[in-house]
Amino acid sequence: MKLSVLDQSPIRSGSTAHAALQETVALARQCDEQGYLRYWLAEHHASDALAGCSPEVLLGRLGAETRRIRIGSGGVMLPHYSPYKVAENFKLLQTLYPDRVDLGIGRAPGTDPFTAAALRYGSTVGPQHFPQMVADLQALLNDSEPPTRGMEGARAFPLVDHPPEMWMLGSSEDSAGFAADAGLPYSFAYFINPAIRSDIFELYREQFKPGPNQAEPHTSLCVFCICAESEEEAWRLSRSRDLWFVRLLQGAPGPVPTVQEATEYPYADAERRAIEANRDKRAVGTPAQVKARLLAMAEEFGADELMILTITHDPAARARSYALLAEEFGL
């Protein structure tokens, strides 16, 4: 089973966005050395919890800091941007780091409605045009004719021998249909929507139409994990995520809290129930326990790859979690 990494560049309580980005760079170097397949960066805006607002900028740094691992966006929220500019950005990255670049795209805003409107700066081209934007982006990456009227002669530079590997991201059944129609590999964010039907990838495979860069369906399941030497320590570290999750439900997650802060927080009964309901949707424990849980989930969903999201307040514990998992899987 191939393992990859999703990094949201979390900002820790008592720390800064600068430190969060330095931790991302250090973790990318480590995961490159340990044999992970991909290292993807998320896109979030107007957030004091997650520092990654521009994956394509940070990818320019990560490419220079790593040697082998594929680097990519998990993802670019396409309705905010011109497909032409996105194509330019990722063809430039592909030119810098040949055959190592992934372009994951999504439809979600990645922010609040006000900030989404600010990003579009008055443009009326939004999520309702997403399938057409995807088709134009595919054409521009492949140096072929964009289907949108008025863009027939558009070509994005620099020209590349092989386009970046394009993925569809999602957390709903709609995204499975988008990926299948576009003939794209599909990455599902289980850590966002663990209530999804377990045959979501089967639905995608049934509807899949070969595209210009992908002849067969291909899937990745993204799961939240914490791995430690003992089960007790792994669950202790996960308390930070519990409190962050509760605050997310309240609409203001803020920086990742310390374990002590999470332990001392006066949870209401409804908050405790929400935490308990979410616990079995993660992979938390010793390396052997986490591996068994991940392989069971991959089998249940029929996933071709697994992508791991790990967030702890202690960056050393996060790095250790990825190291233990790499060793357990024999990467």
The pLDDT, as a whole number, for residue 166 is 97
Residue 268: the pLDDT is 95
Domain covering 2-230+284-329 assigned CATH 3.30.9.10 in the classification: no
Nearest 5°: phi and psi at 64? -75, -20
Mean pLDDT of the chain: 94
pLDDT digit string (tens) for 158-216? Answer: 999 999 999 999 999 999 999 999 999 999 999 999 999 999 999 999 999 999 989 99
pLDDT (0 to 100) of residue 125: 73
Whether pLDDT at 223 is above 90: yes
pLDDT tier at 281, thresholds 50, 70, 90: confident
172-185 CB burial, b ≥16 within 10 A, e <16: beebbbbbbbbbbb
For residue 113, the model assigns a pLDDT of 79
pLDDT given for residue 128 in this prediction:
81
Closest CA to 243 of 263, 228, 224, 226: 263
C-alpha dihedral, 230 to 231 to 237 to 241, nearest 10°: 160
**39-72 burial code (b ≥16 CB/10 A, e <16):** bbbbbbbebebbbbbebbebbbebbeebeebbbb
Which residue from 3, 78, 74 is spatially nearest to 41, judged by alpha carbons?
Answer: 74
Describe the crossing of helices 269-279 and 239-249 by its angle, rounded to 10 degrees. 120
**Residue 114 Cα to chain centre, angstroms:** 23
The token pair that represents 248 in the structure block = 């997310």
Q: Which sequence spans correspond to the domains of the chain?
A: 2-230+284-329
pLDDT digits (tens, 9 = 90+) for 97-146: 999 999 999 998 767 777 778 877 777 776 788 999 999 999 999 999 99
Give the burial class of 232: count Cβ atoms within 10 A of its Cβ; 0-12 exposed, 13-18 middle, 19 or more buried: exposed
Average pLDDT of the segment spanning 86-107: 97
Nearest Cα residue to 77 out of 42, 102, 46: 42
Please state the pTM of the whole predicted model: 0.95
CA distance 220 to 235: 25
The residue with greater pLDDT, 65 or 249, is 65
CA separation for the pair 282, 109 (Å, rounded): 24
Residue 286 has pLDDT above 90, yes or no: yes
pLDDT digits (tens, 9 = 90+) for 305-324: 999 999 999 999 999 999 99
Residue 62 confidence (pLDDT) above 90: yes
Q: Report the pLDDT value the prediction gives residue 120, as an integer from 0 to 100.
A: 77
Closest CA to 321 of 296, 289, 299, 298: 289
Are 29 and 66 a contacting pair, CB within 8 Å?
Answer: yes
Predicted pLDDT at 93: 98
Report the percentage of the chain scoring pLDDT > 70: 99
d(CA 181, CA 209): 6
Percent of the chain with pLDDT over 90: 85
- Quote the pLDDT of residue 124: 74
Pick from 83-87, 258-262, 273-277: least confident? 273-277
pLDDT at 13: 96
pLDDT of residue 14: 96
